[in-house]
A = this chain, B = another copy of it.
Amino acid sequence: MGLVRNGEIEMAPREAATVTACLIIIGNEILSGRTPDRNVAYAAKWLNEKGIQVREVRVIPDVEETIVATVNECRATFDYVFTTGGIGPTHDDITSASVARAFGVPIVRNEEARRLLEDQYIPGDLTEARLKMADIPAGAELIENPISRAPGFQIENVFVMAGVPAIMRAMFDSVQHRLVGGAPVASRQVACFLAEGQIAKALGAIQDRYPDLDIGSYPFWKMRKFGVSVVLRGTDTDILEVATEEVRDMIRGFGGEPQDESGD
């Protein structure tokens, strides 16, 4: 909490800090099923590598009240909030104005953003609708968009980015230096052709012995056989290795053959 607003926390041992994030995906097209989400998995992995754990995702419509309420709830709950979508030139692009309202600040034409757009369009093409993309909450810092120039912005711990996957990815790279992560979460993944129900009790006992790890179990169906992937996640790689070896032993104990997989 308050990580970005308070430099002090950086002095704490990095191992001690758990840094959390929430993604807010803004767009009727995701909620209608028209556009399958392609951003959550990418953002989650990218942030995780930086020691920032995505703890919640919300997909919400282009409705001002909902955006305002969601942004305000999430920015009070998580260290970082990343929104995607709704910062283009059309009437349904209301994210910037809604975030301004969430922070209780006016939305103003940002001169730096306007210059970026002027460089991008030939003069007659820079319509008022496109200029709207230079309207940013007062006090926000721009987020560079190397692809189509129209910037995102950061205000306190909220990062407002485009929904187009390639632009969102570039914007994450643009803000990397502004983010302070905690201990990166490492993972190990072991699969076997045993059923989840066979190993459930023994796996639960391993989870009980390693409360600092997050152990998940994911059934699959492959080569006409049921199997299960066990994923272990934690910040202490020594403990992770010991627990992973216990999972392998447990699988062997049931007559299975543990196979290491590359996990996330």
Query: Could you list which residues of chain A lie within 8 angstroms of chain B, going by C-beta atoms?
Result: 25, 27-37, 40-45, 48, 53-62, 66, 88-92, 121, 125, 127-130, 132, 164, 185, 187, 196-201, 203-204, 207-208, 214-219, 231, 233, 263-264
Contacts and interface: CB of A to CB of B under 8 A. Distances in A.
A233 B35 CA distance: 14
Contacts of A90: 196, 199-200, 203-204, 217
B88 A219 contact: yes
In the complex, the 6 A-B pairs of residues with the closest C-beta atoms, listed nearest first: A129-B200, A33-B44, A91-B204, A33-B45, A57-B59, A130-B197
17 contacts: A30-B44, A31-B54, A31-B57, A32-B54, A32-B185, A32-B233, A56-B61, A57-B59, A62-B216, A90-B196, A90-B199, A91-B200, A91-B217, A92-B215, A127-B197, A128-B201, A129-B200
A233 B153 CA distance: 30
Given A40-B59, A90-B199, A91-B204, 13 more contacts: A25-B57, A31-B54, A32-B187, A32-B264, A33-B264, A35-B41, A35-B218, A58-B59, A62-B216, A89-B200, A90-B196, A91-B203, A125-B197
A34 B127 contact: no
Contacts of A130: 197, 200
Contacts of A198: 125, 127
Nearest to A70: B56
Nearest to A49: B33
Contacts of A45: 32-33
Contact of A129 (B57, B129, B204): B204
